Structure 1
């Protein structure tokens, strides 16, 4: 999945000459935490975050105590070394950047123009949706040998039970480099018979770890 599939495009923006108070009002009214700053050509020139607001005006609830700071133009406090992404970047790549740099959003730039914004909330929502975690389902984790025919065999077992796969992930076994962990999210709330079948075929089902009476 690429960035343009999840990025926000109906953006709330300001300019470098707008005031700190205008940014605070926009954040409160729109319930947002990041505001891109652009020029007349729709080119990104900076970024303002909720954290910036708290640093410059910690007592923003009492304007009379912060009149001078609230009147400052945003160019005085905006971040200009902004990390950006492109609409055709992969979501997992920008998620890694946001994690490593500890940032909450990435402006999306195409042909020098601001075309979108992706926040950590967008990433989390996408993860929930693509895994099917927000749908009625069950999750099964299976430890397998790193073999090309294993996946085909397991899918065949699920097919025998007329079970639809909502999502699937494969990641390395941290305890043994020769193994993989396959995580299936399947369209049933009762996976007991499937787990029994998998165990009968010799698979190591890590989750759910069914009670002995159900094995």
Structure 2
């Protein structure tokens, strides 16, 4: 999946000559944490964050006359003096995996998205990433729950799982296979809250549940649970 479908397009930007207080007000007005800094032709020249801006303001512990003098000087200081010029970027063709890797590596909350001419066409944030993966994995889908079983190591696991669930009139919408600490797991998002019935059906064909429901649990969630609570088994 590509970030073009999830990025914030046509983002608010500022020029490098904008004063630090003006950029700070803009950030507060829009409740942003990151702003791309662009040249007149919209090409990226830097990135400024709310942390950069807060750090630029004089401390409140200074005496009033000194602080006012610093604020007066700050009003004439361009944002280019505090922006980051070494900026990692994404393109509209970057994948969600690309974005996850770069956001984690750079330890930032957002990255600018640029076209082939390095013009800013969007911003992609951690919030956008979470929204994308929430949709990708069906988190919060009404009437669904997540079930995890251990792969039994036999051929054609998905075919056997699909057949077993079909026999019990259960539909699954997502499937992921992972390996952790030497054991393979299969995660299924199923369109039912009767998790115990799903586990029983899969155990009958050799798939052990990663987590057994406690005896006192019904294994069923309410219609309004949205796939959480007792309806979520991971």
Q: TM-score, normalised by structure 2?
A: 0.82
* Alpha-carbon contact 2:14-2:36 (below 8 Å) kept: yes
Deviation at 1:212, TM superposition (A): 3.9
- The unaligned stretches of length 5 or more in structure 1 are none
Tell me what 1:11 maps to.
11
Alignment of 1:75-154 (within 5 A): 75-112=80-117, 113-136=119-142, 137-146=144-153, 148-154=155-161
State the aligned residue count. 210
Q: Is 1:160 paired with 2:167? A: yes
Secondary structure, in 3 states, of the residue corresponding to 2:8?
coil
Deviation at 1:22, TM superposition (A): 1.3
What value does the CA root-mean-square deviation take over the aligned residues? 2.2
Q: TM-score, normalised by structure 1?
A: 0.89
Counterpart Cα distance in 2 of 1:185 and 1:204: 16
Stretch moving more, 165-174 or 74-83: 165-174
Stretch moving more, 155-164 or 92-101: 155-164
* Alpha-carbon contact 1:18-1:74 (below 8 Å) kept: yes
More strand, by proportion:
1
Deviations 1:101-157 (A, max 9, x none): 211111111122111110111101111122111223211011114555012111222
- The unaligned stretches of length 5 or more in structure 2 are 220-234
Secondary structure, in 3 states, of the residue corresponding to 2:203?
helix
* Alpha-carbon contact 1:168-1:185 (below 8 Å) kept: yes
Deviations 1:16-54 (A, max 9, x none): 000111111111111111100111111001110111112
Tell me what 2:213 maps to.
210
Secondary structure, in 3 states, of the residue corresponding to 1:124?
helix
Deviations 1:63-113 (A, max 9, x none): 846332344101101111100011111111221111122111111111221
* Alpha-carbon contact 2:47-2:87 (below 8 Å) kept: yes
